[in-house]
Amino acid sequence: MTVKELASDKTLKIIKGNLYNTINPQQQERLMIIGGSETLTARCLDAGAIVLPVTSFSQIKQNEFHTVAAPLSIHQYADGAQWTAKAYEALKEGGRFIVDFAEVDFLPSASDFPYAETLTGYWERLRSVGFKTILFEQLTAKTAKEALLNGWTEITPVRFPVIINRFIAVK
C-alpha cells in the first residue's frame, strides 16, 4: 500500500470523542504517537497499524510516517513547540498530524505543563512549519468523566467545562 493509497482511504474529518476515532488507524499504517499514550498505542496496534511511541527528537526519522498523533501529553514537554516542526519532518508527503492542544487556561499548572499557547498560536505554528491543509474543531468536556472518556487525563484537575482544540494538519 502506498502513501497515496493510505491518504485516499483517510477522510479528513474530526470525530468527537477520543483521539483514536479521529486517527482511525489502518492496517500497515505507520503511526507515531508523541508522548506514548499506552492505551492509544495499544488500540492502534490492535487495528493493525505499525506504531512508534516517541518521547525524544532523536528517535524521529524524516518522511517515515503516514500519521503523527499527539494527545494532550505534548504539553508536558518544555520543547513542545518544536514537536510541531518535528512532526512535519517525520511525515511522508500527504501525511496527517492529528493533535489535541489545550488552551492555556485549561491546563492545571505551567510547571507541570510548560508548553501552552492560544488557539491562534497553535494555528500559526502549524502553518509556519509548512502544513498545507489545517482542519480544526473545538471539543468540550463538561465533566471530569467526559474528559477521561476523551482520553484527556492531563486536564482532570482543572475546572470544567474545558475546551480542547483538535487539529488535523496535512503535509
Nearest Cα to 99, choosing from 161, 11, 168? Answer: 168
The continuous run of DSSP H or E covering 34 comes out as strand 30-34
**C-alpha to C-alpha distance for 45 and 50, rounded to whole angstroms:** 6
Specify the pTM.
Answer: 0.88
Which CATH number describes the domain made up of 3-170? 3.40.50.150
What pLDDT score was predicted for residue 87? 94
Residue type, 72: L
Give per-residue pLDDT as tens, 33-62.
998 678 899 999 999 999 998 888 888 899
Residue 23: is it exposed, middle or buried by C-beta count within 10 angstroms (0-12/13-18/19+)?
Answer: buried
- Amino acid present at 103: E
Cα separation, 136 vs 38, whole angstroms: 25
Q: Say how far apart CA 81 and CA 42 lie, in whole Å.
A: 26
Q: What is the pLDDT of residues 118-143, one digit of tens each?
A: 899 999 999 999 998 999 999 998 99
Q: Are 75 and 107 in contact (CB under 8 A)?
A: yes
Whether the per-residue pLDDT at 2 is higher than 50: the answer is no
Domain boundaries, the chain: 3-170
Q: Which residue has the cell 508522548?
A: 35
Q: In what order do the strands lie in the sheet with 50-54?
A: 50-54, 30-34, 65-70, 91-102, 162-170, 133-141
pLDDT digits (tens, 9 = 90+) for 74-86: 888 878 788 899 9
